[in-house]
Structure 1
Amino acid sequence: MGTMTATTTTADAEAPEAPHLAARRRELAEFVRSRRERLTPEAVGLPPGRRRRTPGLRREEVAQLASVGVSWYTWLEQARDITVSPQVLDAIARALRLDSSERFHLFGLAGAVDPVPREAHADVSPSMRALIKQVEPFPASIQNCRYDLLHYNRTFSRLFTDLDALPPSDRNCMWLAFMDPDWGRSLVERREVLEQMVANFRNLGTGHFEEPQWRALVDRLLAASPEFGEIWARRDVADKVKPIKMFRNRDVGIVRLHADRMWLQPNGGMRMTVYSPADDETAEKLERLYRLAV
């Protein structure tokens, strides 16, 4: 791997800078320095060498491990205004032995997209499983930012289609809305709902478009659904939920529901959605649906 370098230009040096960018650069410099100082030469496979006046690794040792220029790495720790590419950040993260949380913090401070992003933790805790069971007969589910259904209660399993009869790879709300006939029929305002879902989906994907899992889902939908392709091509973005949603359930008929979303992880990780009845008639229908799902 050749040595990577970065340069600054005269125009860049003379251009005025927003205060928040300088603050983020200082925080990035302090964070990288702190991670360097906690490492020992032995921990990264280097000989201990002569007595050290400062804790941890030397700057030139980190530069060597990351295959970046020593001057460039020094500028990074000095909070200089330099270009930091995702590839160089990846090399530094590996050299400093950053864990997934530290790596996420590093790329966030640099305002860069991680080329090897961490997957949002997909394990639903026993306490969250108990919670969505406890809210029955209200339908509830836990999804990630790609709309994969990670867990759901019995009422939700019968609200749109028979989820338990589907392969796990198809238990994705975006896929089902376009490709599952029962799910599609359950959407009373189908076209409006699909357009809103795609706009929300694109908005959630802002920091994820380069992730293989995200790209694979988009490619799968584009290949399978011309309608998705047509809506996707508009590049609309949104972050909203209608106050009342109407669904047509095959067992109990029309239900009118409030949808409340609660984020369980930061930065577009897992979220829980609970549907509560918007009227007494819907409340009675959810009770019937729950009994059918037992």
Structure 2
Amino acid sequence: MARSGLGAFLRSRRERITPADVGLPAGRRRRTPGLRREEVAQLAFISTEYYTRLEQARGPSPSREVLAGLARALRLSDAERDHLYHLAGVPPAPPPGPQREVRPSILDLVRRLPLAAATVNSAIYEVLAWNDLAAALMEDFSAVPPRDRNLARRAFLGPHPDGRRLYGVSDAEEFAHSVAVGLRAATARYPDSPEVAGLVDELRAGSDAFAGLWAAGEVDAPRILRKTFPHPLVGPVTVNCDVLDIADRDQHVVIYTADPGSSSEEALRLLSVVGTQRIDVIG
């Protein structure tokens, strides 16, 4: 345990947080930057005396529970949390669950993509963000509850409102295989996440197909590079499928583009207009 390093790190993280960041009143007689020691201790559910000793490099090695409480109280990023554990001489705990917050720059990127349908998906296949063309090609994700935006559930449990499972895509079988492999990897990265375990249990209980894929124990899946959406308005739309990994968030940007000059490119162009008109009418 690096006591002096741990104390200095805790102090630096404490001083950068304002009371408003954690829902506390600022008060009139606040002479030091950031939070007070007693405020951090309260948020971490430990005694002020114990926290003070940690900052002054006099405290005993904190437990995992204490470190987890400090990480929450100090609003640490994943990298900062791992650094805190290393300073305390404890192997970093696995992250509590998949990250759902999408970076603003990624949201801006998705919105700016020309003639491309794009979504941002979590590690467990939740559609977290999308652009207008993705909504026109697949469905209006804003019109369904967040729970129903999960593509794993779409693939194995829930048909689309018009009766097509997973939008009728041509690669439904390959995608189902990749979902099983992806969720197996997610259970390894988030072993303590009730969300990940709950989703896997739900799919195993509700889908014989998923239960069979899960029992097979495969950890590799073919890369899906091209697929066709049978769109009810513009007909078949064949697109290239590229996936960009956002490593620090464990998220994926999925981008669908059509070959230049193809009928599918013209279909996407038409959908971009139809989607815009639809949004304008609703607004």
Q: TM tier, shorter chain?
A: 0.5 to 0.7
The equivalent position to 1:91 in structure 2, one of 51, 66, 76, is 66
Q: Which residue pairs with 2:110 in the alignment?
A: 132
Asked whether the equivalents of residues 100 and 118 of structure 1 are also in contact (C-alpha less than 8 Å), the reply is no
Distance 1:250 1:267, change over 3 A: same
Task: Give the gaps of 5 or more residues in structure 2.
Answer: 12-35, 42-47, 277-283
Deviates further, 92-101 or 157-166? 92-101
- Tell me the distance in 2 between the aligned counterparts of 1:186 and 1:142: 20
1:192 aligns with 2:174: yes
The 1:152/1:38 distance shift into structure 2, 3 A limit, reads closer
Within 5 A, what are the aligned runs for 1:51-200?
Answer: 56-59=55-58, 61-63=59-61, 66=62, 88-94=63-69, 99-101=75-77, 102-106=80-84, 113-114=93-94, 117=96, 120-125=99-104, 127-178=105-156, 179-181=158-160, 182-184=164-166, 186-200=168-182
Aligned partner letter, 1:277: A
Which deviates more, 175-184 or 88-97?
A: 88-97
Alignment check: 8 A CA contact 1:140 1:272 kept:
yes
User: Would the alpha carbon gap of residues 111 and 206 (structure 1) be closer, same or farther in structure 2, given more than 3 Å must change?
Assistant: farther
The residue correspondences of 1:272-287 to structure 2 (distance < 5 A) are: 272-278=253-259, 280-287=262-269
Amino acid at match of 1:247: F
- Whether 1:46 and 2:44 are equivalent positions in the alignment is no
SS in 2 for 1:242: coil
Paired residues of 1:136 and 1:290 also in contact (CA < 8 A): no
One-letter identity of the residue aligned with 1:195: H
Among 222, 226, 230, the alignment partner of 1:244 is 226
Query: Max radius of gyration: which structure?
Result: 1
How many Å separate the matches in 2 of 1:170 and 1:89? 35
8 Å contact from structure 2 (residues 180, 214) kept in 1: yes
> 1:202 & 1:99 partners in 2: Cα distance?
29
Consecutive unaligned residues in structure 1, runs of 5 or more: 1-28, 67-87
Distance in 1 (alpha carbons) for counterparts of 2:51 and 2:172: 66
- CA displacement at 1:239 relative to structure 2: 6.2
Q: 1:220 aligns with which of 199, 202, 206?
A: 202
Taking the aligned partners of 1:48 and 1:248, their CA distance within structure 2 comes to 60
Change (3 A) 1:189 1:93: closer
What TM-score do you get using the length of structure 1 for normalisation? 0.65
Q: With the length of structure 2 as denominator, give the TM-score of the two structures.
A: 0.67
How far apart, CA to CA, are the structure 2 residues paired with 1:37 and 1:164? Answer: 45
Within 2, Cα distance between the matches of 1:250 and 1:48?
Answer: 61
- Alignment check: 8 A CA contact 2:67 2:85 kept: no
After TM superposition, give the deviation of residue 209 of structure 1 in Å.
3.2
Structure 2 residue corresponding to 1:257, chosen from 231, 239, 248: 239
